[in-house]
Amino acid sequence: MALSLNGKRKNLTKNDFINFASNISLSKGLALRLMIEINIKLNNCYESFINNSLISNELRKKLSKFIDDRLSQMSF
């Protein structure tokens, strides 16, 4: 993210996004549904983007692990 969220730029959790949603007047339920939808869509497409990229196999593995780690922080 380009801007800080809930005073943080790293190690964001789903609670940080829920707090942000409440600050912009979104209900917690809507925020959770949106986060689930984004998580599902990312899980379905990011590997094909990485596999079709021109980066080395080692970087592909590192990038996949990085994205998996980040998505697991947001899992429900």
Model pLDDT, residue 25: 92
Non-local CB neighbours of 30 within 8 Å, separated by 6+ positions: 21
Does pLDDT of 47 surpass 70?
yes
Does pLDDT of 61 surpass 90?
yes
Q: DSSP states of 19-76 as a string?
A: HHHHHTT--HHHHHHHHHHHHHHHHHHHHHHHHTSSS-HHHHHHHHHHHHHHHHHT--
Instruction: Over range 39-58, report the average pLDDT.
Output: 86
Does pLDDT of 57 surpass 90?
yes
Compute the distance between CA of residue 55 and CA of residue 12 in angstroms, rounded to an integer.
Answer: 27
pLDDT tier, 41 (very low <50, low <70, confident <90, very high otherwise)? confident
